[in-house]
Structure 1
Amino acid sequence: MTTIRDLQDRGRALRKNVPRRNHGIWVPDPSRSDPILLLQEQDKNRLKHLLPIKYGRMLESPFTFMRGSAVVMASDLATTPVTGLQVQLCGDAHLLNFGIFATPERKLVFDINDFDETYPGPWEWDLKRLAASAVVAGRENGFEDDVNRKLAMVVSRYYRRAMVRFAQSAFLDVWYYNVEVEKVLEVFEKSSRKAGKSAQKVVKKARESTWEHAIEKLTEVVDGRRRIRNDPPLLARLSEILPEERKAEMTEQYVKKLYQDFVNTLPEERHHLVSHFRISDGALRVGGIGSIGTRCIIFLLEGTEKDEALILQLKEAGPSVLELYVEKKDYASQARRVVVGQKLMQAASDIFLGWIEDPATGIQYYWRQLKDMKGSFDVNSLDEAGLETYLKVCSVCLARAHARTGDAASISGYIGKSDTFCEAVTDFAVAYADQTERDYQALKEAVKSGRITAEKGI
């Protein structure tokens, strides 16, 4: 029988071929792909009229650029050394893709919350993206270089510490482990008074961000009927923007078929719940940065009881940015890939998480509840102690997700007890933050030259 020590020894043995210090090297290859071309290639199948909004948001700062350019960093990470140990990757593990949400049992937890790019691959890639984003965010907050380096060290050290713990835990305990908000509040309050207040504010807002709040904010009653508010370009009712031929296709029977296809991807015990609702309105919604231009639709669903309603989101799923650089896996559907990856990595997932393929267009969508007690931290408002604490929690969640889907003992054996690996990841994070700033300048030049169109302030 293979023991934990055997697996840790296996990890340590990997250092011979991939020395830990090598992870600190980032020198762009002369043949490095043009980051602007990579972004434009990703845009080819997106809604062209929304792309200027995406680039306008990316132009705000190097940090917003980083949020919108996972495709660029994926290309770069593919040139870096890896151990060969595989996990289910988030694929876009920057520090704002973590947050608070409610479990099916209505408990608030903190976890990874974006899986558009999820795919099996080298565990180092997620960790390096999180560490690099920590440095970029720290610079945006005006922190000194030594502080930003410390933030990256916090990421790798807490990942290491958590991975050791998960390696020594029963696998079922790893699977059940979650980070409840009470624990998050506790560690924030210990770090600094300001950080504690920031965390309390986020949790309070999450508790108030219920489905009832979403209905109140996003819908209105017109002539006795509830419908989604029209606020283009960020929220545009389908009845207002679809071409006539597409409207003709979207008959009541067609919409019912889409809904039933979604229902069929849910566990059978959920069928009774969702059959209680029917789709009554829809709108195209713009949110975030990196996914702008992909089709994101919200549907208003009304129940059989008066004033009972729900909003579900359909989000287009395209190929993962990692797909070109890892061994291919047959998911049958890109939307199913997102759903499977999310359920593998998260401690608890949305009960409405499902997927469909639109038979008229071939576009694949995953479904989820739009707002369900979700909350995110404004990292730009956090002080040094607050951001450090936030990154500690993110790193534990990332390690837990990797431990659920990979070999925690071998990973912890490779990392070891010293700071050799952590220092290397920190070196990489600082160097890649510099690269991000250069790429950000390249985007500014592309906009200035007319190569890219950007619309700010939306």
Structure 2
Amino acid sequence: MPTSLATRADRLQQGKSLRKLAPRAAHAQLVGPMDRDANAILDAQNATRLPALIEVRRQLLAGDPFAYLRGAAAVMAHDLQWQPMVGAKVQACGDCHLMNFGAFVTPEDNILFNVNDFDETLPGVDFTVDVKRLATSIAVAASAQGATKPQRHELAAATVRAYRKRMEALTYLTPLEVWHSRVDLEQEVKKFRNAAMRKKMMTIIARARGEGLDKDDNFPTLAESGAPVIHDKAPRIFHFAAGSDAAKGFEPGKGFAEYLNVMSPEVRVLFDRYTLKDFVFKAVGVGSVGTYCYVGLFMSGDEEPMFLQVKEASHSVLEALDEKLAYPGNQGQRVVEGQRMMQAASDIFLGWTEYSESGREFYVRILKNRRLAGISDIAGTEALTDYARLCGRTLARAHGRSGDPAVISGYMGDSDAFDEAIADFALAYEQRNEADHAAWAAAYPPNAPASPALPAKKQDKK
């Protein structure tokens, strides 16, 4: 009988038996070679990136340890290959840090909270990989806010505890109920203990139903003349000349033709009500800066704009965990399948394409001009704890769709043994990340202030 058809009790016991192969306490140690060259791992990614943006990426990574962690998913994936693996597999986010969670409004006017970045997603990955990266990101963010070592440890443990308890709750739902489960942001915010954070989030939710969430400064805007042209915001958003490096990455005519081939008939009807008017290059994120990413401006007959993002999809950094995990098809398809697997409600325009002349593969989606909150908005240890717990619960819901909640819950158990072990790991990796950032900043000294999304680091009262 397939494991998925075994009884809940049997699957819980199966998870518990996995502790013999990977004791929960074993996750506390950061193991593996200490002499790996993190700078070399990151610089190797530049080989396929737009040369003009490599220095921008270096500067962003040099800004502060949190910015470095965000951009160094490849380094952490390299290090995670040496850590204990349980054998309970899920569709992994792959770049699971607290800033890769966000909110969106459904057609039913519900505001859901979800994982929202899938560039590194991969199926068949041990669930602990995402949990460790999320807990580490909480520790690094807390360090930037001046939290003491015990506070950072408790924040990381609280994140994992929230994950564990939500996974336990999912265990006793039917598979169909797990699949349709949601993280309703309005209900979750009511659980926040920090009154100021609760009030701020409720204000954001109210605004989302009106004018929308805070707008991203790095979002395309139309030319002041009113023409159907995107306004240049170099070096992040810019038009490019024929024959340039950017032009060689993707050609809209051929690329969108391939995209139409994977589009469902009902979405094609909607898509055909728009026409492409302009096409620009857009530098994105921290770790993704320099990858080939474009934005197409589409207009309806009444000149109502829609922006579609065409983003390059390379092999997931999680392939470093095991060569057997390598995705065999179009890497854009990998991203789309991962997002559909993990998100409660996905963008209807999600699709993939390729441009054979450049050998690059892409995924397509609606370009969102919304953000829930930056790190600077989550001020104070109590507020960060609320947000960390929310991320932990949300990750459990995402993992529960592809993994087996009973097996994962059976492994983690009812005690805080797993929480404490992952928190120990998070603090150990926080120190490694800080050293890696220092080495990067020494090689590529920052010539600009630290990322505005992260407050200045206060003295650590250990």
TM-score when normalising by structure 2: 0.90
User: Which of 192, 199, 203 is residue 194 of structure 2 equivalent to?
Assistant: 192
- Conserved? CA contact 2:135–2:422, under 8 Å: yes
- Conserved? CA contact 1:103–1:349, under 8 Å: no
| AA at the equivalent of 2:84 | P
Partner of 2:307: 311
**Deviations along 1:268-300, whole A, 9 cap, x unmatched?**
211100011111101111231010000111100
1:366 match: secondary structure = strand
Judge which range, 209-218 or 103-112, deviates more: 209-218
2:48 match: secondary structure = coil
Q: Distance in 2 between matches of 1:345 and 1:148?
A: 28
Partner of 1:385: 382
Q: CA deviation at 1:201?
A: 4.4
Map residues 391-410 of structure 1 onto 2, 5 A cutoff.
391-410=388-407
User: Which of 129, 132, 141 is residue 136 of structure 2 equivalent to?
Assistant: 132
Q: CA deviation at 1:257?
A: 3.8
Partner of 2:258: 261
The total of aligned residue pairs comes to 442
User: Which of 156, 167, 173 is residue 169 of structure 1 equivalent to?
Assistant: 173
Q: Note closer, same or farther for the CA distance 1:61–1:15 as it changes in structure 2 (3 Å cut).
A: same
Partner of 1:376: 372
Q: CA deviation at 1:330?
A: 4.2
2:156 paired with 1:159: no
Q: Distance in 1 between matches of 2:263 and 2:434?
A: 43
- Conserved? CA contact 1:96–1:376, under 8 Å: no
2:410 paired with 1:413: yes
Partner of 1:333: 330
Q: Note closer, same or farther for the CA distance 1:105–1:263 as it changes in structure 2 (3 Å cut).
A: farther
1:227 match: secondary structure = coil
User: Which of 38, 45, 51 is residue 41 of structure 2 equivalent to?
Assistant: 38
Partner of 2:454: none
2:116 paired with 1:113: yes
- Conserved? CA contact 2:186–2:205, under 8 Å: no
1:14 match: secondary structure = helix
Partner of 2:455: none
Unaligned runs of 5+ in 1: 449-453
| AA at the equivalent of 1:183 | Q
Q: Note closer, same or farther for the CA distance 1:362–1:102 as it changes in structure 2 (3 Å cut).
A: farther
Q: CA deviation at 1:155?
A: 1.1
Q: Distance in 1 between matches of 2:275 and 2:299?
A: 6
| AA at the equivalent of 2:372 | S
Partner of 1:3: 7
**Deviations along 1:199-230, whole A, 9 cap, x unmatched?**
134435645348999999611254x6320001
Q: CA deviation at 1:86?
A: 0.9
Q: Note closer, same or farther for the CA distance 1:280–1:194 as it changes in structure 2 (3 Å cut).
A: same
Partner of 2:68: 65
Unaligned runs of 5+ in 2: 452-462
2:311 match: secondary structure = strand
Map residues 54-453 of structure 1 onto 2, 5 A cutoff.
54-120=57-123, 121-188=125-192, 191-204=193-206, 206-207=208-209, 208-209=211-212, 218-220=221-223, 222=225, 225-238=227-240, 241-243=241-243, 255-304=252-301, 306-326=302-322, 327-371=324-368, 374-382=370-378, 383-448=380-445
Q: Distance in 2 between matches of 1:147 and 1:244?
A: 50
Identity %: 35
2:99 match: secondary structure = coil
Q: Note closer, same or farther for the CA distance 1:127–1:246 as it changes in structure 2 (3 Å cut).
A: closer
Q: Distance in 2 between matches of 1:181 and 1:18?
A: 35
Q: Distance in 1 between matches of 2:421 and 2:178?
A: 27
Q: Distance in 1 between matches of 2:54 and 2:299?
A: 32
| AA at the equivalent of 1:142 | G
Q: Distance in 1 between matches of 2:362 and 2:206?
A: 31
- Conserved? CA contact 1:353–1:366, under 8 Å: yes
Q: Distance in 1 between matches of 2:79 and 2:252?
A: 41
TM-score when normalising by structure 1: 0.90
**Deviations along 1:141-160, whole A, 9 cap, x unmatched?**
11122211111111111111
Q: Distance in 1 between matches of 2:197 and 2:48?
A: 41
